[in-house]
Every structure is written in C-alpha cells, then in structure tokens.
Structure 1
C-alpha cells in the first residue's frame, strides 16, 4: 500500500470526449503517477486507453457513474486499498454526494470541481439544494472564472471554501509555430486575410453575428475570408444565412474537426473571433471561453463577446477586443475590421496573448493550483 495517494472520482474521463474529460486528463497527466488512482465509468475504447496510463484506473460496469451506494462502496474500498488520503471529484455534481462516506473512511481532504454550467443549476431551487449538499461535504469547491464564482458563492451560503481552478492550455500544442497552410489550401483560402472561429455551432457562440456582419468586413477588405470551424445544431441555419447573403465565396464552414487538428485550424487565421452572448435569461452562458486562450496561445488577437466569464479570457485592448454588444453585427464587424486594418497591432496583440497564456493559463500552472488545493502545505 502506498500512502498519500489521491482518489479521483469522475464520470468524465477519456476516451469519452468533452471539455471536462480534457480538463481531468490534463490535470492528472501533470501529477506524479504514483500519487493517483481513478474511479470512472466506461466508454468505448476504455481498455486500450487505460492500458497506456501510468496510474491505475478502475472502471465501474456502467456508462454513467452516479452517486449510488455501489459507487460509494467502490470509492471507499479503493481509498482503503491504495491508501488515499485526498480525493478529487472531476465534476462535483453529483458525485460529490459520496464525499461524506469517503471522509468517514479516513480521507482527510476532499476537493470538487465545477465547470460553468452549475451557475444555471444554482438558479433553480432543487438543483441549488443539491449543490449546497455537495458543497457541505467538501473542503474546497473550485470555480473556473470570477463570473461563475459570483453566481455560486451566494447560492452556497458559505458551506465550503471556494477556489479558482480554471481549465488550461497545452502550450506545446497550441503554439505560434502551428502550421495552418494545409488548412488554407484545403479550403482555398490562399493568402487572404482570414478571420477564424473555432467553436460548436450554437446560437450562444455568435457565429450568426459574424455572418450577418461579414458584408461590412468585406466592404473594407474584399479579399477577406471567414472560417467557421466546428459542427453543431446551428450549422444548417448558418449555411442558409451564408447562401441568402451571397457569401458562399468568402465564408467557409468546415464541419466538425478532430481535436488533434485544432492548432492548425487556429493557425490558418489572422484574427480569432467568437462574439458569444448570454441567452435564456442567464441559463445559457459562457463559463470562461477556452477557445480565446487557445487562439492567443497560437499567437492570434481575439474578438470576444460579453457572455459570462468570456471577458476574463481576454485582456481587452492588449490581447484582443471585447465587443460590448455581441448581438450587434455592426459592432462585431467593427471590431474585426479594426484588427484587419492594422496588422502590426494585431500581431502585437497576438504576441501579448501568447505571453499571457504561458504565464497564467498553461496546464503546468493549473496543475500546481490543484496540488496546492489538495495539500495546502505543499510547496
């Protein structure tokens, strides 16, 4: 038995894909492997994935790990078997409900993560009560942005300590040396100035405002191209909008792109733009906006919207521009055009963004934050 391990309890773990899965895997990759044991659910390809990991993963026979008595017993047994004195919940809700059982079994410190969607939950009475129960069993509940903290803190009523633990950027993958030439060739972009948006195609992300404002950009930069990278339920509507406005020659929708190809798609652009906006009375909101930081890491200036924590991923006027009214196609077009008008300023913003991401948002920095939360006495 090795002492001092961390039990990671998570329903969100590769090879299943998603933002929380990436978050958890990237954090664990930077922890000492001998300090970890993971309890997770199963997803297609899990045997092959787990075989190449340097730490043990125990998979319950389910596609969804829930805070059932069986899950609680499995977690307690793993903690005892591997001498775990700390636990980390990759998503605190709902699995954090088993935290009291782990504490009763001798786990001394329990940390649970939130990821942004919980700000909507705490606006609903039933879900708010659930989050309060979860928080009451933890030593620390993490948040990804100041925006999410301001919504969680009053709802939780001081039941636990809150601390920031944001997603990070792989600064070795997302880098100014990423080569976008193949993407440009594939989509016939040539040497044109390119505005790129990498995101799921849903109304909150604001691709519709980019398309609606694109004629104004073309009025000043007739050779410019708009590259919309990603798939989603809004794809049909966006394609119709492009066709209706006669923009088929200057707007390209790539469809879904494998995660491994994202750096080269960012690198195909000169400016990154995602004018996100809050919808549904605050229930549909951007928790942080990692795409801004990934674009900055590649060396692009960014144009962001005001939704939720998105402005926290941009140093307005230094690494990019926050559009005060992201619903306005005119305002979005003006921000994009200003950067295309001044390539030297755009490059300077991109360089400043890269430096900021390396300093504040790299996974190495974020992993150190987690280490300090798991062991406040750790150097």
Structure 2
C-alpha cells in the first residue's frame, strides 16, 4: 500500500501548502514523493526517511512526459495509492494513473481551486479532476462551498474536509517570546503581532491605518509585522504617512522553524485578511491563526473565505471586517486594555486547537481516504 505523493508544494520551498503536504507525509506509513526541483533540495531530501524523486523542471504540469514519469515512479516503487498535493492542475493525471494501477486517488484542494471553480474552461478541468479522484478534499467549509458546484454530483458528494493540524509541542505559551521581545527592545510594552507574508491580501495595511486609534488608548502599543514580501515598501510608506512609523516594527523574513517565539512575543495576534480580485483571491484558511491560538494568544482575523473556520468569535478571538480599520482597532484595543479577557480567549483557543486541530486527526482521516493502514 505505497502512496505516491505528486506535488509541486514540497520543502525546501516555504509556504502553508508546503507545510501541509510535508506534514501529511509524516502520517503515511509507506510513500514516495514525486515533486519538482528547487534550490537546496538535494540536502533537504537526504534527511528524509522516505524517497523523493525530483523532476528536472521547477514546476510539474500534467504533460504527457510528466504523466509518464509518474507512472514510472508508481511502478518502480510499487505504489497503488496516489495523493495529489494540490488537485489543480496535477489531478488531471488521475485517469492515466488509475489506468496504471492506482486503486485510490485523493486530491487535496487549498485556495486556488476556488478560482478554477469560477472560471470557464478551468471549471470544466476541475470537474474532470473531481471525477477522476475517489475523494477531493477541502481545507475549509467555505472552500468546499465554492468548489462543490463545479463538480459532478457524485464527486461533490465524495468531498471531505481535511484540514492542516497544529503541532502544539512547537506552538505553546512561553515558547521564546521573552527572548524575541528582548532582542527587539519590546520588553514591557503591549504588542500586537501579524505573522504573514507581506501581500495585500493579508491586510497589514488595515492594522497600520487603525494603529493611531489603538495608540490613542494604549500609548505604548507596538505593532510587530513579521514576514517578508513584495508589499513591504508600501507598508513602510503607509506607516510614515499615518504617523506611526515609530510604533510599527518590521522584522523581515523569518524561517518557519523560528516562528513560534514571534507568536509568543505578542499580547494579541492580528491578521485582517481580505478577499480581493472580485472574489478570486480569498483566504482559504489561515493556519497561522490557529498556531497563534495554540500559543495561547487571542486572535483578530479578517472575514475572508475560510478564515472564519480559524476563530470562535467572542470565545477565542474576533472576526472583523478587514476593510474597516476603525472596527479592527476597536477589537485590538479591547483586548489590550482587558488582559484578563485576552488571557481567557487565549486559553480557550489553545484548548480548542489541542482538541480539534491535530495532525494525528488529519492523518487518520487521510489514511481512511487512501485506505492504508
């Protein structure tokens, strides 16, 4: 029962999907990965307990050549189950792999498949992918609702929700936040942290625009923006124009392995993510929000796509209008000025993640879907 994992989203590339796929691999008893080339892959692959076959290209596409390569890897390693790390477009190889001997095919969806579902041509391709798979999964209830109408009725009925998990042994209270605060000169001051790539969809500009209102109530508060990305210059200019540059700190890119202490350094986690491009660019889930909850922090999250699945409004944090800096600032101020409430929400969030967002739970479902033991 060897599983062939076919994916472009695999380390050493960094990102949420890469982490998701890599962590699911740890939940499978016998597997081989077919993926694309990326800088540093040879050294990374040497440390793995399972084989990785790297294609010669930097991006796998469902071409005849790549399909023949996948069939060859299946036969070489005796694989009879297939997991597509992202359904679109690699899932288009499903019929060929079925013909080559795949007994079960599972195709993961994330966020970009919602765009496929709403676009002529791509929508028909997604339908073929769903028909070729035994199960297509979704990371959130919102994603499922967007994708299902593009599928045939049988494929839609076979969909299952398969979410990322959170490693609560990595993300936990007092996981190094004091050292981060000391290194950044933030000892003893209220901190709101946003940990994410600096792209327009994540809503860091909403936090900056609302920061004068937060500072009016909490004069020493600092906004800590953790991560790198193409939006940094625009955000720094916005902080200067808004008059809060002295109260906004940019860390630049931080390796995923080093993220827990930055979440732990916060009093509140905030990411007012938004839906852009006429609905074609939503937040599929937002696993970092759950990682913040696991670290014991109250969260303030934008109401975009599947982000609502990552917060229990009023219990573990708040869901806010990501286009409303004032409303976002009100929630942040509420939490910064009421430490007892913030602490209670953080504790509730950690308990919720510990009980319901585990990799063991996700792995058990995946093994069921693939029919492996």
Aligned pair partner of 2:362 in 343, 360, 366: 366
Q: Deviations over 1:46-76 (max 9, x none)?
A: 2222222111112222211111222222222
What residue number does 2:144 align with? Answer: 149
What residue number does 1:175 align with? Answer: 172
Q: For 2:121, what is the secondary structure of its paired residue?
A: helix
What residue number does 2:200 align with? Answer: 203
Residues 16 and 287, structure 2, Cα contact 8 Å, conserved in 1: no
Aligned pair partner of 1:318 in 302, 315, 320: 315
Residues 86 and 108, structure 1, Cα contact 8 Å, conserved in 2: yes
Cα offset for 1:31? Answer: 2.0
Aligned pair partner of 1:241 in 238, 241, 244: 238
Q: Deviations over 1:6-62 (max 9, x none)?
A: 111112211222222211111112222xx1111111112222222221111122222
Deviates most, 158-167 or 271-280? 158-167
Is 1:188 the counterpart of 2:188? The answer is: no
Within 2, Cα distance between the matches of 1:199 and 1:53? 27
Residues 10 and 90, structure 1, Cα contact 8 Å, conserved in 2: yes
Residues 14 and 256, structure 2, Cα contact 8 Å, conserved in 1: no
Cα offset for 1:134? Answer: 1.2
Structure-2-length-normalised TM-score: 0.96
Aligned pair partner of 1:294 in 291, 295, 300: 291
Within 1, Cα distance between the matches of 2:33 and 2:276? 36
What residue number does 2:371 align with? Answer: 375
Cα offset for 1:159? Answer: 4.9
Corresponding residue pairs, total: 371
What residue number does 1:166 align with? Answer: 163
Alignment of 1:46-85 (within 5 A): 46-85=41-80
Q: For 2:149, what is the secondary structure of its paired residue?
A: helix
Q: For 1:37, what is the secondary structure of its paired residue?
A: strand
What residue number does 2:332 align with? Answer: 336
**Which structure 2 residue ranges, 5 or more long, are not aligned?**
none
**Which structure 1 residue ranges, 5 or more long, are not aligned?**
none
Within 2, Cα distance between the matches of 1:91 and 1:265? 29
Aligned pair partner of 2:117 in 92, 115, 122: 122
Aligned pair partner of 1:39 in 34, 41, 64: 34
Residues 131 and 152, structure 2, Cα contact 8 Å, conserved in 1: no
Cα offset for 1:265? Answer: 0.7
Q: For 1:358, what is the secondary structure of its paired residue?
A: helix
Structure-1-length-normalised TM-score: 0.94
